Structure 1
Amino acid sequence: MMFESKHVYGILGLISLSLSEYLIVLTGRERRGRLMGQEVYRATDFDILPLKTDISVLYPPHPVEGHLLALVRSHLNAGFFLFSYGWDVTTRLQAQWAAQESTQRQALWEAACHSFNRTCSFFWNKFLQSRLIEATNANPRQDLSPYILPIMYGTFDIRPAFIHSRHIQLCLISRRSRYRAGTRYFRRGLDHQGHVANFNETEQLLFVEDQQSSGQRVFDDFSTKMSFVQIRGSVPVFWAEINTLRYKPDLQVMDLQDTADAMRRHLQEQISLYGEQSLVSLVNHKGYEQPVKEAYEKYVAQASVNLPKVRYEYFDFHNECKQMRWDRISLLIDRIQEDLVHQGYFHLDMNHPTPVLQQGTVRTNCMDNLDRTNVVQAALAKWTLNRQLQTLGILLPGESIDDYEALGKDFREMWADHADLISRAYAGSGALKTDFTRTNRRTKMGALEDGYKSVLRYLKNNYFDGARQDAFDLMTGMWIPRKSPSTAMFLVTDNRPLWIRSMPYVTSVSLFMICAGLTLPRSSDYSLFYYFMLWFTFALLSLLFILIHGIDYVSWPRLIPPTDVIYYNGPGFRSGNNGKGLGNSAESLHYKASAKWLSTGRKRTASRVEEIELGTKKRVD
């Protein structure tokens, strides 16, 4: 028998499924650039190797095992994973400099979890590596550190530029948190530990080479290193959007007793990691988004009473920038300019032993923390980059990177690509409004592209994101399978009532019969009238039924179904109660039937999930 030989470039970790443990190894990589003298790679191919010899990955012996393996593969193939063998890509430059003395003798994974980054938020495969980490900590003589490779889920781009006889490099990195990770509608707001959905740290790095007095350039000898960090994250209150097949989901804000405490935990953690916090909210002040904005302002006022390092700033993005006046983001910059100057940026100069530290960061959010957030973060990054280059004397006062075509183009492309990748990871499509980021203006073609992306998001968020959310929960350790596949048959069976499952088939048959009727011979214009009327009626009634019961046709996560959110009836705000049938009250028969089938998997594993959620945090963190 012939075996294919492959290079193994690293170990992603170990994962335990229902029948076997599996070793995930990196078998493909793509060079993305060189940072701080070290190569940075993107993982492009993986192999999943069973530790039991009688288990086949290609032909699993049980459908549950096959389903779980499919989730692992989908997550690996869809993610944008980055790593380096000699540089900690999971930690920003300032934190690495602050911890250099204590980490210089540590392994790469230990440096990634140093006290300056104690949450290991961006060590994406921390759960998968937990077995190797535990073994190393338990027996230091059997050190497995060389096999523990920290992986970052995010973006990386680095480009050279040449201005006024100075060689520079511009780098953009985003790091996605492994806490409360998931998809757009299945992970919103914050949890009771203070972790928020779609949390990303974005670091813009500027490297400037040393220039000798003779004028000779010394390439790759960057005497000046600058870092500017921004963060984004979901509005830190308990809220959700419930998919019902309608374009606008039902908006729900849950007024829980510990909301202020959970938000305070979130803000305190950000202060301890980044310093002062400027909270920039871009959520609309009226219409659909208004309740989220009001809840944010209500609880940030309570949570920040004893947090003087927190300042809230609201910017009415859609009103201020209407009619494609995106240049008016400068109004926001003017309002927070004092904070930007005070917080500054990290500046390390070889000629000065003590660097200038970034004292705080801007936390930007809109509803999704994608499109509006991308535009504002890019504008803040450009303002800071101009200031940095002017401080170094590379740009004259009043000049901008837009005055230099090559650098301006690289900057816009880097931020647009960065926005697309973050959006694909969370919403399933590229970012909206990237035409402005790429060209500095809003275009009609860009608006058409945004329409296409919006449709794509709707389809993925309603019909495909359930499995994608399951993959996140499985790979980050939020759900751990039992060693008995029979207890997880809910993953591969459809527990919905027959009358619910049958309606899409009725619609499909009706549409087929209508199309077939167009080809039938007829003796007069009215000979098939009743035929078409019959099948049009079937199609219309079945479609109407699907819309009324839309919640039963959404692709919900099965590992940890959000039944507590869908059927929440406590204090707060609910924009609607759609998709639950004609009887929308909690006492209705349909409500009880829907809750029963949707929560089947959770009922079978409820105690196990609670045990894992607590036990995993102990073990992994």
Structure 2
Amino acid sequence: MQALYKRLNLYIGPTSYTFGPTEPIAGARSLTIHRDSGDVVLNAPSASIPPSGQCSPKTIYGILGIISLTLSDYIIVLTGRELRGRLMGQDIYRATEYEILPVDPRTSVQHPAHPVESHLLALVRSHLNNGCFFFSYGWDLTRRLQAQWAARESDEGKALWQVTDDRFFWNKYLQSKFIDITTTDPTQDLSSYILPIMYGTFDIRSASVNGYHLRLCLISRRSRYRAGTRYFRRGIDHDGHVANFNETEQMVFIDAKLNEGLGNSDEASTKLSFVQIRGSIPVFWAEVNNLRYKPDLQIMDYPDTADAMRKHFEDMLSHYGAQDLVNLVNHKGHEKPVKEQYERYVAQLGLPDVRYEYFDFHTECKHMRWERINLLIEKLRSDLMNNGYFHLDASSTDPVQVQRGVVRTNCMDNLDRTNVTQAAIAKWTLNQQLRVVGVLKDSDSVDYHESLSKDFREMWSDHADLISIAYAGTGALKVDFTRTGKRSQAGALEDGYKSVMRYLRNNYFDGPRQDAYDLITGVWRPRRGPSSALFLLMDPRPLIIRSVVPYLAFIALFMILAGLTLPRTSQYSLFYYFLIWLTLFALTVGFIFAHGIDYVSWPRLLPPTEIIHYHGAGFHSAKKGRGIGIPALDVGKLKSGAGAGAQWLAKGRRRAGSKLEEIEMGTNKRLD
């Protein structure tokens, strides 16, 4: 496999950026990006550094790519990394610091010439600083162990970016310019500068069990397709991609017995790998934020729903083999319609090697009876045994067995219930694996070995937190059970706090986070000129919505608090004073919640207007928060124009959407 440069020097000149490996490497070629034209050129091995170039004091650990905004292209470079462990003899790093370099010499990153550019740069920074990115210079983190073994011959001589799993190559859009140059001009092979990064989790820990030395590794890979936040990316798209898709791989490397000498190489170990996946329920559905704790549930029954679901499952079958679909949503109440839609289309498709298994998590495990997850595992036991796991002995080039299928788990958000369930299935499988290779006896269990059990619980808990932070903005719920094996009252209180924080983040802060996902992954691409994105600076809401009512509510609250400090000279006058301001405050707050949909922080780059104002076949829970006087309706019976309080909102959203459509016509497709 072609080597990547691990450390680069950066020479900054008035007309160019030049990157070159820090260590002397035979045949190494420096890379120049011309700032006047934006051309990327791979220099001859003997080329010298431009005399006008000033060496940056920071070491560059990789180039993440180039992003084009409204005023300039920008080079994103990695200036900080943290070693998180070694896997298959290669160092695994987490990216920690970044720098953004403007290609246009007239452009400043610190003081952009236009507020639109400043806004877009802030989105880029927030995504980089809040993301969880991992990379390696010599090991493909994007592919599971079995896939790499199967492709070991075809991978020979290829660059790291050429063998990655396209779904998990997070910065592929950013690297598209380097990739295009490399694929179109053989003399300009930039592969040594193309560093793939993975958005997800990585943890590896050592343990000793019954005289064996083990390394337990947990990796989660997040798909760049349909990426986003909790309420702004749900369900499936027309290409079969689902929101919040994660592939989670649990690996175990087992060395010889301790008294025979510790192995320190994963290549010389017995290797075990078990993969699970999670993803949003693969139908067209959403929850529309409206300031209430439970948003409106919306199901869009499009004519191509079955085709989209078929694409999704056929893709999963091609990657993983047989599918066990574990559905953990509630069988009644708010979640019931999504469950029914999912089951209806799974039955309609009738795909071979796709088996549906329903488990009502909240009902079965209520009153903190988490051990009842074993009921689900018993239902899956036969398939878990048949699908198996990847097992490669140190003394053989051929595997003892391969994994022939996966469990695909979902709850409503694919977070808390899914985390607990996947951890339980992973522990059951780990016990089976260690018994097969002789580390554990048939009567033994991971739970009987405190050090290994503690590491297992902590790894899965940290993994759950990071996935939840990426999607919902807070750590996972029910993580005390995953971490300790018990559900506690303190854990329940902590979950209450996290639920409140989720509510605040999802309603008031997730719009810009979703915009950052769409910008970095190339779902939305700006055109040159800030005027093409002026909508980012405009608030299309009516004046009464955006200013009058909120200011009146603030004034009323201020006067109420001020009234508490007034002298009690006349209880009669104070009664009317508080009555007036409390009434005004109640009316304004009531108005805000009645029109709650307009006080949510919506994405601006690709606002979900087609979801908010959907009137076709399907289901809608209530249409709350869209104005006064809209009763609970089935949207299959809802005609366009129903609900006077929602008319001006729909028109305002349509105006914003039409401007965006005119500006970005043809540019909202992903660039691969």
Q: What interval of TM-score do these two structures reach, taking the shorter chain for normalisation?
A: over 0.9
Shift of 1:270: 0.2
Q: Write the distance in 1 (CA, Å) between the matches of 2:263 and 2:473.
A: 43
In the other structure, the counterpart of 1:540 is 586
Q: How does 1:411-560 map to 2 (within 5 A)?
A: 411-501=456-546, 502-560=548-606
Correspondence 1:329 to 2:381: no
Displacement of 1:590 in angstroms is 3.6
- In the aligned structure 2, how far is the partner of 1:52 from the partner of 1:290? 54
Structure 1 position 190 matched with structure 2 position 236: yes
Question: After superposition, where does 1:279-428 map in structure 2 within 5 Å?
Answer: 279-303=325-349, 305=350, 307-355=351-399, 356-428=401-473
Look up the match of 1:101: 153
Q: Does 1:173 align with 2:207?
A: no
TM-score of the pair, normalised by structure 1: 0.96
Is the partner of 2:167 in helix, strand or coil? Answer: coil
Aligned counterpart, 1:31:
83
CA–CA distance in structure 2, aligned partners of residues 411 and 608 of structure 1? 50
Distance 1:21 1:74 in 2: 18
Match of 1:14 in 2: 66
Q: Distance in 2 between matches of 1:613 and 1:279?
A: 32
Contact kept, 8 Å, 1:559 with 1:601, in 2: the verdict is no
User: C-alpha separation between the residues in 1 aligned to 2:575 and 2:85?
Assistant: 67
Which of 655, 661, 665 aligns to 1:606? It is 661
Moved more, 581-590 or 592-601: 581-590
Aligned AA (1:342): N
What code does the residue aligned with 2:366 have? Answer: K
Query: Which of 27, 48, 55 is matched with 2:100 structurally?
Result: 48
Q: Give the deviation of 1:217 after TM superposition.
A: 2.8
* Partner secondary structure for residue 207 of structure 2: strand
Query: Deviation per CA, 1:222-262, whole angstroms, max 9, x where unpaired?
Result: 42011100000000000000001000000011111111110
- Tell me the amino acid that sits aligned with residue 296 of structure 2: D
The 2-side partners of 1:503 and 1:12 are apart by 45
Give the whole-Å Cα distance in 2 for the aligned partners of 1:555 and 1:4.
Answer: 39
State the alpha-carbon separation in 2 of the partners of residues 363 and 48 from structure 1: 38
Q: CA deviation at 1:183?
A: 0.4
Question: Greater shift after overlay, 496-505 or 415-424?
Answer: 496-505
Structure 1 stretches of 5 or more lacking a match? Answer: none
CA-to-aligned-CA distance 1:549-594 (integer Å, 9 cap, x gap): 0001000011000010011111111111111111437424442321
Paired position in structure 1 for 2:646: 591
Give, in whole Å, the separation in 2 of the partners of 1:54 and 1:574.
51
2:120 corresponds to: 68
Q: Who is 1:142 aligned against?
A: 188
Out of 211, 216, 229, which is 2:261 matched to? 216
Deviations 1:440-499 (A, max 9, x none): 111100000000000000000000001100000111111011112112111112121111
Distance 1:313 1:43 in 2: 39
Contact 2:532 2:663 in 1 (8 A): no
Asked if the contact 1:245–1:551 (Cα under 8 Å) also holds between the matched residues in 2, the reply is: yes
Contact 2:526 2:532 in 1 (8 A): no
CA contact (8 A) 2:211 2:257 kept: no
2:612 to 566, 570, 573: 566
How far off is 1:100 after superposition? 0.9
SS in 1 for 2:467: helix
1:587-620 CA distances to partner (integer Å, 9 max, x unpaired)?
Answer: 2444232123234443123156452244x3xx41
Cα distance in 1 between the residues matched to 2:566 and 2:365: 55
Partner of 2:29: none
- Counterpart Cα distance in 2 of 1:577 and 1:482: 36
Aligned to 2:383, the other structure's residue is in SS state helix
What is the alpha-carbon distance in structure 1 between the residues aligned to residue 74 and residue 588 of structure 2? 44
Query: What displacement does 1:3 show?
Result: 9.3
Equivalences, count: 608
Aligned match for 1:262, one of 308, 332, 342 = 308
In structure 2, give the amino acid aligned to 1:106: K
Whole-angstrom distance in 2 between the partners of 1:569 and 1:143: 51
Aligned-pair identity in percent equals 63
- With over 3 angstroms needed to count, the CA separation of the structure-2 counterparts of 1:270 and 1:610, relative to structure 1, is farther
**Correspondence for 1:133 among 168, 179, 182:** 179
Partner secondary structure for residue 134 of structure 1: helix
Q: Distance in 2 between matches of 1:505 and 1:570?
A: 37
**Secondary structure, counterpart of 1:234 in structure 2:** coil
CA distance in 2, matches of 1:309, 1:79: 35
CA distance in 2, matches of 1:373, 1:397: 28
C-alpha spacing 1:140/1:3, structure 2 compared with 1 (3 Å): closer
TM-score by length of 2: 0.89
What's the CA shift string for 1:147-182, capped at 9, x where partnerless?
111100000000000111111100000000000000
Residue type at the aligned position of 1:77 = N
The residue type paired with residue 280 of structure 2 is S
Distance in 1 between residues matched to 2:61 and 2:55, nearest whole Å = 19
Alignment partners' CA distance in 2, 1:558 and 1:597:
13
For 1:63, give the aligned amino acid. P
